Amino acid sequence: MDSKNSDDDWRVICEKDDLAESELKEFYVSEVSILLVRLSDRIFACQGICPHMDEPLSHGFIDGTLLTCSKHLWQWNLETGAPVGLAEMELSVLPVKVDATRVLVNINQLTNGGGAYTQEF
């Protein structure tokens, strides 16, 4: 776990098997939308709503780690949250860890930018 995260920040979001490969799946934690996507043996998490026009990113498309919002085709690198192409704002990416079967996300860092917050399993 990243040292700057406290245990209280980690929330159980779903079972690992709830995430189908490359499916963009939206969850709510304390009424905050987050997006989870499983890419091969890695799980990524980020804010669930587009920072541009509030479109649910679960309506978008994923190609490798390139996430595209369906509304105006803003794109981000899901590993870093860095904007790509038309996008003018970063995406908040969130730390992920997986225990035996569960996927946990640290929602304390629901801010822009960050590192490659993924968990391999």
Partner 1 sequence: MQHLVVFDGVSGDSGSTAALCPDGEPILFSGLGTGLNLGYGCATGTCGGCRGTLVSGRVNTLWSEAPGRKVLRKAQEILLCQSTPISDCHIRAPFGQNTYPRAVPVNFSAIVESVVTDGDGLAWVNLISGTPINFLPGQFFLISVPSVVGFRAYSPAQSGQTSRALSLLIRKKEGGGLSPLLCSEDAIGKTLKLFGPLGFAHARPTDDGDLTIVAGGSGAAVAISILEWAAVDTSRLDRHVEVVCGLRSDTPKLLINRFLKIKNQLLDRMRLVFAFSDNGSTRMFGEGIEVENGLVHEVAQRKLALSSLGEKAVFVAGPEVMVNATLRMLISSAKMSPTQIRFDNFS
Binding positions for partner 1, rule: CB under 8 A: 53-54, 59, 61-63, 68, 70-75, 85-86
State the DSSP code for 105: E
Distance CA 86, CA 34 (A): 22
Nearer residue to partner 1 within complex by CB, 11 or 52: 52
Nearer residue to partner 1 within complex by CB, 73 or 89: 73
Which residues, at least 6 apart from 99, have a Cβ–Cβ distance to it below 8 Å?
Answer: none
User: Could you tell me the two tokens for 111?
Assistant: 């801010």
Residue 3 Cβ, how far from partner 1 at the closest point, in Å?
33
Residue 86 Cβ, how far from partner 1 at the closest point, in Å?
5
Q: Rounded to the nearest 5°, which phi and psi values hold at 67?
A: -100, 130
Residue 15 Cβ, how far from partner 1 at the closest point, in Å?
26
